[in-house]
Structure 1
């Protein structure tokens, strides 16, 4: 795993990896989930398979207790058999509709609220909604960079390492380029 592709925002190191999110050694993994936390395909399916049946069991219990997760909302479960301690499930946008950028913004706010609540120091984040849910990669990149830079401008929480990752090198390169352009200005 190449950790040389990174930038620093305040106290936080941001990494850009072409990697299988389920294999990363981090405190938490973000899962791009559906509102009922049924982890069948995409990143959610890969995470569920890697972590074992405990993840789906905890997800089902969460939905039974609290109801479906709203778009941009989050739910936290254990990571099952994976090296991570937690999975922060978030419901991203579907397709390219008006208001979807706001869903991604809300997801980032809620993810990092849980990061601080659980004292998470390292987290892996996929390209939420850009796979099977069809949210445009370019829009995700723009919102992700804006929200991350805004969040970490004066950040004093627990997180020290953020790993943005995908198995698609084009997505990772696009995000890294946008971060570099934004942080150099």
Structure 2
């Protein structure tokens, strides 16, 4: 069973192999968007490279996860998950699928640690406590050997 660490801070400051970007379904080109929250912070610190790589995947299914380079960030990669639908809303299903897909991808690439933001909180419409509970439940149901950090943003 994975070790779950609850951290209050900045996702982009975590000592992990890979971070998760709560993304959309990739139906609007990244350069037309003004990314907010996690995506905005990643774009600001990593540069455009991860988003250019992400665009090559085309339309993502709800909950799908894809791996890109980390740009200027010190990680082995960024896992982008389609956590919100075309109406910019998250559901319990989209959050659970996103977590599961990200963990599968992390294990497939032999990453030892992963940091999740609160997928679906904020823009997605869920409150932080709901999302944290869903992420923890989903992780506990899986049998992946990855250390997990759930990062609750605090300045």
Tell me, yes or no, whether TM beats 0.5: yes
Distance 1:77 1:49, change over 3 A: same
C-alpha RMSD of matched pairs (Å): 2.0
For 1:13, the equivalent position in structure 2 comes to: 3
Q: Measure the CA separation in 2 of the matches of 1:70 and 1:135.
A: 20
Q: Secondary structure at the match of 1:90?
A: strand
Residues 112-143 of structure 1: CA deviation (Å, up to 9, x unaligned)? 11011100101110000102222233332332
For 2:42, the equivalent position in structure 1 comes to: 47
Question: Which consecutive segments of 4 or more residues in structure 1 shift more than 2 A?
Answer: 93-96, 135-139
For 2:83, the equivalent position in structure 1 comes to: 92
Contact 2:63 2:97 in 1 (8 A): yes
Q: Measure the CA separation in 1 of the matches of 2:126 and 2:59.
A: 20
TM-score normalised to structure 1 length: 0.72
Q: Which has the higher helix share?
A: 1
Contact 2:100 2:139 in 1 (8 A): no
Shift of the alpha carbon at 1:14?
A: 1.6
Contact 1:120 1:158 in 2 (8 A): no
For 1:22, the equivalent position in structure 2 comes to: 12
Asked if 1:76 corresponds to 2:71, the answer is no
Q: Secondary structure at the match of 2:122?
A: coil
For structure 1, the residue ranges without an aligned partner over 5 or more in a row are 1-9, 170-185
Q: Between Structure 1 and Structure 2, whose CA radius of gyration is higher?
A: 1
Where do residues 83-122 of structure 1 align in structure 2 (5 Å cutoff)?
83-93=74-84, 94-95=88-89, 100-122=91-113
Q: Measure the CA separation in 1 of the matches of 2:89 and 2:127.
A: 7
TM-score normalised to structure 2 length: 0.84
Aligned length: 147
For 1:146, the equivalent position in structure 2 comes to: 137
